[in-house]
Structure 1
Amino acid sequence: MKTADLPVSTHPLVTVRHLQRDDARAWYAYLADPAVVEHTSWDLRGIVDLLPNFDAYASAEPASPMRLAVVLRDGGQLVGTIGFNAISPQHRTAEIAYDLAPAVWGQGVATSLVNAVVDWGLQRLGFVRIQAAVLDSNERSIRVLERCAFAREGYLRCYRQIRGKSGNFWLYARIAGNP
């Protein structure tokens, strides 16, 4: 889902813009980093595996996924993505997803952007529930969600296949009206 209105990043290091096909090389470069692979459900064998996603992200269909580029304010280098998957216009729900290059880890980028994008999704897009499914081993992302007022709702055993193995996930959610 592509929108004209974008969330505003107040973080001094980064801002957001629409993700573009020519971001694929930089996106794949950090997604292939073993430190990133360890905590994501991406199963990428090459840059070509990312390309079909760009058509979905460019769609104007309300239920299509939405992904924004996270770029450095100084120089515009892609250092992450953030957006919504599993969007249900009927139920006014979505699942937040994000990934960052290790170069910006530990600087408050994820917390700042998750807060901004979730607030925008609840206020501007009209979602009433935004959830997140996070690998149980991804302690950094779990801390981000908890700092952003997401409530832990359950444990999803064998929820997704992660590079050929069943992965266990924690389910978190933030509900409109519950900051």
Structure 2
Amino acid sequence: MQIDTPPRLPCPGLSLRQLARPDLDAWYAYLSTPDVVRHTSWNLRSRDDLLPLFDGFESPDPESIRRLAIVDDNAGGALVGTIGLHTVSDVHRSAEIAYDLAPSHWGRGIASAACSAVTEWAFAEYGFVRIQGVVLATNARSARVLQKCGFRYEGLLRAYRMVRGTSGDFAMYARVATD
């Protein structure tokens, strides 16, 4: 879904904008590094594996994927990460949040700031009542991002998703609009 007015990112020199096809090479460049995908369910073989996602980003369907680029304004708007909502349910007014960040920008609080900003924006902009985050059980850093943003641990989802050919256990976190 096209996002015309993204939330403001409270990080000096960084901003959010709609993720677009010209971002594909930069996105794939860091998503293809072992440190980035180690604790995720990404299974990319080439940049072409990302192309179908853009159809969802560009769809007007209210249940389509929403994805924002995290860009470095001091580096000409270079892509340094993404954050968005998928598994959107218009009926249940819920979505799942997901994010990724280039290793060069890890450890600066960017993922937490983006997660917090997008969560608050999604509640206000779309009227969601629930936003959940599902992270591979071994992904302590991502779990910490969700916890810092007020997401509550709801349990372990055993063998929830395939992770490069093997079933993986995932931790479920969620925030509701009344939290």
Q: With the length of structure 1 as denominator, give the TM-score of the two structures.
A: 0.97
Contact in 2 for aligned 1:21/1:54 (Cα 8 Å): yes
Residue 10 of structure 1 deviates from its aligned partner by 1.2
Hey, what does 2:103 align to over in structure 1?
102
Hey, what does 1:150 align to over in structure 2?
151
Hey, what does 2:10 align to over in structure 1?
10
Contact in 1 for aligned 2:69/2:82 (Cα 8 Å): yes
**Where do residues 81-160 of structure 1 align in structure 2 (5 Å cutoff)?**
81-160=82-161
What is the DSSP-based 3-state SS (H/G/I as helix, E as strand, rest coil) of the residue aligned with 1:50? helix
Q: Runs ≥4 in structure 1, deviation > 3 angstroms? A: none
**Amino acid of the structure 2 residue aligned with 1:156:** L
**Amino acid of the structure 2 residue aligned with 1:32:** S
Spell out, residue by residue over 1:102-131, the C-alpha distance to the aligned partner (whole angstroms, 9 max, x if none): 000000100100000000001111100000
Hey, what does 1:30 align to over in structure 2?
30
**Amino acid of the structure 1 residue aligned with 2:59:** S
Contact in 2 for aligned 1:79/1:104 (Cα 8 Å): yes
Hey, what does 2:60 align to over in structure 1?
60
CA distance in 1, matches of 2:128, 2:147: 19
Residue 26 of structure 1 deviates from its aligned partner by 0.3
CA distance in 1, matches of 2:28, 2:3: 24
What is the DSSP-based 3-state SS (H/G/I as helix, E as strand, rest coil) of the residue aligned with 1:9? coil
Instruction: Give the unaligned 5+ runs of structure 1.
Output: none
Residue 13 of structure 1 deviates from its aligned partner by 3.6
Residue 5 of structure 1 deviates from its aligned partner by 2.3
Residue 40 of structure 1 deviates from its aligned partner by 1.4
Distance 1:160 1:89, change over 3 A: same
Identity %: 52
Question: Structure 1 stretch 120-129 or stretch 6-15: which is displaced more?
Answer: 6-15
Spell out, residue by residue over 1:126-160, the C-alpha distance to the aligned partner (whole angstroms, 9 max, x if none): 10000010001111101110000000001001000
Q: How many residue pairs were aligned?
A: 178
Hey, what does 1:71 align to over in structure 2?
71
**Amino acid of the structure 1 residue aligned with 2:152:** A
CA distance in 1, matches of 2:48, 2:136: 25
Q: With the length of structure 2 as denominator, give the TM-score of the two structures.
A: 0.97
Instruction: Give the unaligned 5+ runs of structure 2.
Output: none
